[in-house]
Amino acid sequence: MTDKKKIIIGSRGSKLSLAYSNHVKKLLIKFNPQFDANSIEIKTIKTSGDIFQNKRISDIGGKGVFCKQIEEELLESKIDLAVHSLKDLPTIMTDGLCVNAVVKRNDPRDAFLSHSNKSFNQLKPQSKIGTSSFRRQAQLNLLRDDLKVIPMRGNIDTRIRKLKDKEFDAIVLSLAGIKMLNLKNEVKEIFTTRQMLPAIGQGAIALQCKKNDQKILDILEKVNDKETYYCIQVERALLEAIGGDCDTAIGGLAILSNNKISLKSELFSNDGKKKFEYESSGHLKEAKEIGYRVGKELLKKAGPNFETKGN
């Protein structure tokens, strides 16, 4: 696709994915005056993760299940760029593709939703709390060991509906997605990052394209949020250093201030009962080195018996 007077964005078809893609479309128009609403098209692509909604992500291929089909269309030049939730991207980038631009990060924290309780601590013992994440499962169990943490899949609307149908007493979701869909009124409580350190890349939107598509790279550079970009470099380097995948119960959050990046991280044992923590900081030019360093220190703390696969 050499004619860049029109751009095709590849996106999953969920409400949240389309909200992300429309947000990116608006930014592209704002920062590239050659585009208008008619010159940017959003193409919905069904992924394995959308098709098999009743199976745990780890059972249907891991993180790549939300990206593989979209990446294939990108490599075949059927689309010009792909919009992903950054935390859905596999740790190792697909050959021929890159993420050189990200949108300004939304709130990375986790949110507590319940049909009857105003806060997490008000849940009665043995209450059922739903989450799709090994990380959240481990964190919730450490905060309270008297609850039943149950795996759940589905998009945000589906999960909220299951909550309202009282299949669960409470659920935990990413606050960024809730805000993007204007569902903040459903939230009863927001966990602090001390209570629940977010997933790697949580709240960030990744803009993926071909490595050799210089025209698209130039266009995306104008919408890239540099602060977010440096922070996700650190976080993804951490994930790469430990060999992490969607089964790995790990949290990590990088913060940039005055050209200094600080990274907090926590890794959980395979049974979720032990937590290993480490943090480090340095100049933003050392972004990846900081992430690798933290990852290696976490693995040292976890010991030789630690496996990167979750429970």
Which CA distances in Å does 133 have to 57, 97, 192? 9, 27, 17
Would you call 95 a catalytic residue per the annotation? no
Strand ranges (E), 175-300:
189-190, 205-210, 250-257, 260-268, 275-283
Which CA distances in Å does 188 have to 96, 114, 138, 225, 298? 43, 7, 21, 30, 33
Position 174: which residue type? S
Q: Out of 36, 50, 88, 146, pick the active-site residue.
A: 88
Q: How many whole angstroms from its chain centre is CA 55?
A: 19
Angle at 244 between CA 243 and CA 247, to 5 degrees: 140
Take residue 38 and report the two structure tokens written for it: 């008619």
Which CA distances in Å does 308 have to 245, 301, 311? 7, 13, 10
DSSP secondary structure letter of residue 111: E
Tell me which residues are annotated as active site.
Answer: 88
